[in-house]
Amino acid sequence: MRHPAVAGSNQAPPPAPGSSKLSLVANLKHTTVTLATGDAVWEVYLDPKWAQQRLRLYGAQDRALEQFFKQLEEDIVEVSMERHGLEPPA
């Protein structure tokens, strides 16, 4: 029985799930699409507008991580002080 996507074509049906042929087919499709769209992707990626957007995003990510670890450090100090029966710093 032919697969509906290739019905009427001379291509063989897709490989069964779990077969090593399936990953080969998937890799071939991925490589084909990557090669076909690579130039357009790089053109957009190198656009100064998007470069600025990435910098803002990375800056926001950096600030969020810094705030998270600062709060984590404060919580660790507080828990440690409580465990040792000391007053946490004001």
What's the total number of domains in the chain? 1
pLDDT at position 2, please?
41
Is 90 inside a domain boundary? yes
Is 16 inside a domain boundary? no
Are 88 and 81 in contact by the 8 Å Cβ rule? The answer is yes
Is 89 inside a domain boundary? yes
Indicate the SS3 state at residue 18.
coil
* Residues of the chain scoring pLDDT < 70: 1-20, 88-90
* Distance between first and last Cα of the chain: 76
pLDDT at position 60, please?
96
Is 70 inside a domain boundary? yes
Whose structure tokens read 């090593």? 20
The boundaries of the domain holding residue 87 are 35-90
Are 13 and 2 in contact by the 8 Å Cβ rule? The answer is yes
